Amino acid sequence: MRQAQTKNPEAVASILREYLSRRAALHLEGVGTLRVRDDGKFEFSVETGARVFIGYASEDLPRARRLSRQLRAAGLRPWLDQEQLLPGQNWPRAIDRAIQTADFAIQCFSSNSVARRGYFHKELRMVMEAASRVPFEEVFLLPVRFERCTLPDRVVSQYQYLDLFPNWNEGVAALIDVIQKQHAQRCDTT
């Protein structure tokens, strides 16, 4: 996109039309999506669904992606590193920002995540720190188990977890229900 410094709305609209003629839409993360309709007018769709950070072990990426797709289909805005990070982006900073700006954080536990040291545990600590700043009656951290595994004592002692097995769809439906109800309550009080 070319550089332009103008206060002329028609010039800005022209630049946007040119950009959008080459792409289907302009997505502004955390804000919404701008499109040009068939009649040439702009249409802006505001993002209203809850922002949901998803933490997982790299070996569990297929299950994390499946969860992300189902959350998105339910109108939520999942943040999954493999879907959001750009080439060359400072990924530790981006992950920290995603956690800090999330409405909810799902930490996905499995034998892969609990059995070894790695970035998953660092993310978990970051999420638990962010959760410590949320009012007690609000849900922020949602621990889920992809399979039977032992969760860290610190997680079990503070948070109720949800199993996504043996019935994945029932587990995900319960997870979505909690997020949507909590998010609606927050929106009603602001």
Tens of each residue's pLDDT in the chain, 190 residues: 455 466 788 887 777 777 777 767 777 766 778 888 888 788 888 777 999 999 999 999 999 999 999 999 999 999 999 999 989 999 999 999 999 999 999 999 999 999 888 899 999 999 999 999 999 889 999 999 999 999 999 999 999 999 999 999 999 999 999 999 999 998 876 5
pLDDT value of position 12: 78
Phi-psi region of 75 (alpha: psi -120 to 50; beta: other; left: phi over 0): left
pLDDT value of position 3: 53
Specify the amino acid at residue 3: Q
pTM for the predicted model, two decimal places: 0.79
51-189 maps to CATH 3.40.630.30: no
pLDDT value of position 30: 62
pLDDT value of position 6: 61
Domain with CATH 3.40.50.10140 in the chain: 51-189
Q: Which residues pair with 145 in a beta bridge?
A: 109, 163
Tell me the C-alpha distance between 32 and 153, whole Å.
39
Tokens representing 153 are: 């004592």
Phi-psi region of 152 (alpha: psi -120 to 50; beta: other; left: phi over 0): beta
pLDDT value of position 1: 44
